[in-house]
Amino acid sequence: MRVLAFLDGTVAEPDDPCVRATDLGLLRGDGVFETVLVENGEPRELGLHLDRLVRSAWMLDLPEPSETDWKRAARQVIDNWRGDGEFAMKLIYTRGSDAGHGSAPTAFALGLEITPKMMSERSEGIAAVTLERGIEPGLAVRAPWLLLGAKTLSYAVNMAALREADRRGASDVIFTATDGSVLEGPTVSVVMVRGRTLYTPPPILGILPGTTQAAVYRGAERAGFTAKIEMLSVDDLYAGDGVFVASSVRKLTRVHTLDGKVLPDASELHRELSAAYEAGYA
Ligand code: PLP
């Protein structure tokens, strides 16, 4: 099941050719995107996703996306989705096919099914590995042209890291900076819990501000937890009571094993935090 809607609201057949071979998103990965979770016909955190899309587009000098148009395209996908249950909706925004010669960006929303593996990992937890990202903590601020912290379509490195995790028998990655500090995963934020306090690394390191992490933080604070944004080392992860990855598609997923070492059982913590997160959408 897939549903495609362009930014002008037209619904199209996703298996038909509809992007030019000269599209710079295709040729150079020159564009930005978002992946939104849709559950019970409602897009979760659409406002935060659109804010991040606008920020990513600004970092790439793309024309400012119109939130009204994106909301209409998103609604078209949701209204035309015939499948059961939740799905993932990608918002894709590229520089278009003839940049500099008046051509408009390519922009569409695409609804996609969530894989059964992803669904079962939400309840069973995952093994993760730490992998070097090769960036130092100050780089994002010093070198904005590296686009660290923009959600660009250039995800080949992120996908290669996930294949490396797979070769090592794990399902996800926690990237580390050159000083060993924890960053994020290729498609997830990292959250560590110690006692009743949640920790996640700051976006200034050149990582994405996670919409799911933000929603988990809101829920956790309502449930009496303290939520902090602080730098973390890999040793901090081992010293915690629970390590989680968070994304729109993963929701909050428990990491049970890190680099082959079994972490403390955080099933109860996972249940409590997931309930607090879901309560925001009840
Ligand atoms: N970090 C990266 C690099 C991502 O690609 C994503 C989402 O795909 C996230 C974090 C988590 O963001 P969100 O919770 O908004 O899905």
Residue nearest to atom 8 of ligand 1 (CA): 187
For residues 29, 54, 279, 186, the Cα torsion angle rounded to the nearest 10 degrees is: 30
- 265-280: per-residue pLDDT in tens? 999 999 999 999 999 9
Residue nearest to atom 6 of ligand 1 (CA): 187
Number of H helices, E strands in the chain: 9, 14
Is residue 117 over pLDDT 90? yes
- 25-52: per-residue pLDDT in tens? 999 999 999 999 999 999 999 999 999 9
pLDDT of residue 99: 55
Quickly tell me which residue has 């607090």 as its tokens.
Answer: 276
Pick from 109, 113, 110: nearest CA to 87: 113
pLDDT of residue 102: 62
Percent of the chain with pLDDT over 70: 99
- Ligand 1 centroid vs 91 CA: distance in angstroms? 13
For residues 114, 71, 247, 164, the Cα torsion angle rounded to the nearest 10 degrees is: 70
- Ligand 1 centroid vs 245 CA: distance in angstroms? 10
- Ligand 1 centroid vs 188 CA: distance in angstroms? 4
Beta strand segments in 168-224, E: 172-176, 189-194, 197-200
Interatomic CA distance for residues 161 and 268, integer angstroms: 30
- Ligand 1 centroid vs 247 CA: distance in angstroms? 5
Question: Mean pLDDT over all residues of the chain?
Answer: 96
Beta strand segments in 138-188, E: 172-176
CB of 184 within 6 A of ligand 1: the answer is yes
Whether pTM > 0.75 for this model: the answer is yes
